[in-house]
Structure 1
């Protein structure tokens, strides 16, 4: 059996490692992690529980890397300074990517796989990615950047991330194709983006839901009753609904729920028109909406008692009065759920800041997704041990990677460095 060694930097709870080990195993290749590093102690705990050893801490304290074939890293995306210029690229000194470059210099593996947020692709008008490419290529590696959506790899999540791949002293053609997928979670159409993940019947949120999770994940009776009132008892209408005060569309707002006091029909109508009309260019060019005067509001909401309605909304703290103008007060973080996923569709992106506030209406219950369901959205098997504190588990899963995507990337990279022949590559891909 062939063997492959790897290093796991910025390892988090071990998502990239798990995916890489699955990829190697699928190709009948033994894999060994020779070094891992993660600075967060809560993530170290989960990593140790699942892999049997505790990662090293701060990557900046690692002098050099041991012998290995592939370097893995889910490095943080920090701001890049352009105070210094070199060959037209920004200066990367002082960033955590520089630590990767420094360690690459200590031992050059045959290949690397990096994962990062989608924004890296266009950050600073592409200069940041160009800087990374320059630093990688001057060290003798090829450079490939793919924007891949988890939904195209058998996961019911609309999650786009950038994957950077490099092979030392080679210019291979990889079979992956960039595709950012649907603009939202309700317009998904699966495509074949890898030899390992052919187009098939898409998995949906319903496939990852637990049948009878703990009642602690249920939303409060007050919140549920408010939702029932809005939808006249038909809670199936919750599927795909957002709870947000700055947007219209398929959304519920705090004034409709009565979170700061019940509102009359006129008050609700004014607020709904306010958040819609304040974006009109005739009132200014601020992208997130303008503060409006009473006269401006009267141009789209004609009511004999407009002043009284505005005063009431200010008193209930749905509006704020600033220098003769009105602005809505956001209630977004007071909602128990910020988005209800549709069991028959795919989920919105799981993110660390509010992974604990994704909701679902399932089996006659209005509840939040559980940590295990969040883990399934990311492709983690049920055997993976999560942090015992739910809030920390949600945060870690939102920060982690989609296992299926990294596995597909890793399969192709492993084949490129261990089985470089095109004929062998095709045969291995078919058998996998």
Structure 2
């Protein structure tokens, strides 16, 4: 029997993966304590696990004995503590509470999950602080960086998983795998996978289309509004499937849809759209000087890539509509606030961008040529939560929870490897 505690528990994603791994290994398990400070996350946890973890871990001093600590602790800046106390001091950070409880209870194992940037924060000194703190407590530690997209979760999410064992040499056989950097590279890898005659595995890597609900099961509130759809149609016509993989953003080119293409501040002519798209695509080139970040360009600089002879007419019209500004004879895009109901349309044959607490509610998909937002259940599926996991009847809370959450199958894979080699 493994007794475990679940700290910074969120909605219980780490616990889910841990329990699934233990079940597969035939190991009995029992959660003896859980802690989560967010009331709505704690409510989700209670609905699914029958216990409410609502508490502030910084105020917790007494715990029952346990064998395994799970903790998806928030990444906080260590630099202030470092400057004031030296990098051996973790006070003022939530990692300090992990360290404090490990020191007091000395469990045999732990699993910590955090953002990828933990390894590079403050030039690597934050991570060195964490490692040395754990080793000073008598733990042998190892870590892996893993992309959820390598574990049947169609999301580009790289996280660090740190495991430790007390007074014993740790053994891990799972290796770091950063996966594809974006959905395009993921699709290329899939094509290679599918054409590899040496690969006898019938399994197809997961993609966004695998997590979609049937359109008949999607509430109409997730369908894009008529007004928004009309703006999109100015760019793609009636074939909304052209939106696959596109982001609505003024600041970049590539697979982007801009406010001037949608006529947000007023309809633009083809020449005006071409001008703005060329300006966005070229303004950051080093040839125009790094000192100004390429943001503002003179007429002479712009005419090196915009060759039509209607410069004055086009720029005057764009300035009057508010898409362009001109100061000191230098032109600069006026990038609009693209706060539409969708900011990114996922490619059904690719993977999702990393879910975040602030943006989950504005991820979109085109299904049966109908643009819509992805639902909270689909967000949960993008984190590998089973459909048996009950979601709150509170969309904004669930979107936030899934953006902050973990990918359950990755936790399961790490725990399976860890316990198989160290238990």
Q: Does 1:209 align with 2:207?
A: no
- For these two proteins, the number of residue pairs brought into alignment is 409
Report the counterpart of residue 353 of structure 1 in structure 2. Answer: 358
Change (3 A) 1:12 1:289: farther
Change (3 A) 1:118 1:39: same
Change (3 A) 1:93 1:372: same
Task: Output one character per residue of 1:46-87: Cα deviation in whole Å (capped at 9) or x when no partner.
Answer: 11111111114211101143211110111111111221465x
Q: Does 1:218 align with 2:216?
A: no
Report the counterpart of residue 250 of structure 1 in structure 2. Answer: 255
Q: Alpha-carbon deviation of 1:37?
A: 0.9
Distance 2:259 2:282 in 1: 18
Contact 2:248 2:338 in 1 (8 A): no
Change (3 A) 1:138 1:280: same
Report the counterpart of residue 399 of structure 2 in structure 1. Answer: 394
Q: Does 1:235 align with 2:219?
A: no
Distance 1:288 1:383 in 2: 50
Change (3 A) 1:313 1:250: same
Report the counterpart of residue 422 of structure 1 in structure 2. Answer: none
Match of 1:376 among 372, 376, 381: 381
Give the 5 Å matches for 1:171-190: 171-188=169-186, 189=189
Q: Does 1:102 align with 2:105?
A: no
TM-score by length of 2: 0.91
Report the counterpart of residue 198 of structure 2 in structure 1. Answer: none
Contact 2:71 2:113 in 1 (8 A): yes
Match of 2:203 among 197, 200, 203: 200
Q: Alpha-carbon deviation of 1:384?
A: 1.1
Report the counterpart of residue 419 of structure 2 in structure 1. Answer: 414
Contact 1:279 1:286 in 2 (8 A): no
Report the counterpart of residue 146 of structure 1 in structure 2. Answer: 144
Q: Alpha-carbon deviation of 1:344?
A: 1.6
Match of 1:76 among 74, 85, 96: 74
CA RMSD of aligned residues (A): 2.2
Change (3 A) 1:84 1:341: same
Report the counterpart of residue 429 of structure 1 in structure 2. Answer: none
Change (3 A) 1:111 1:288: farther
Q: Does 1:49 align with 2:54?
A: no
After TM superposition, the structure 1 stretch with the greater mean CA deviation from structure 2, 146-155 or 60-69, is: 60-69
Contact 1:142 1:167 in 2 (8 A): yes
TM-score by length of 1: 0.89
Report the counterpart of residue 311 of structure 1 in structure 2. Answer: 316
Distance 1:112 1:310 in 2: 61
Match of 1:127 among 125, 128, 135: 125
Distance 1:350 1:340 in 2: 13
What is the DSSP-based 3-state SS (H/G/I as helix, E as strand, rest coil) of the residue aligned with 1:359? strand
Report the counterpart of residue 287 of structure 2 in structure 1. Answer: 282
Q: Alpha-carbon deviation of 1:396?
A: 0.8
Q: Alpha-carbon deviation of 1:283?
A: 2.0
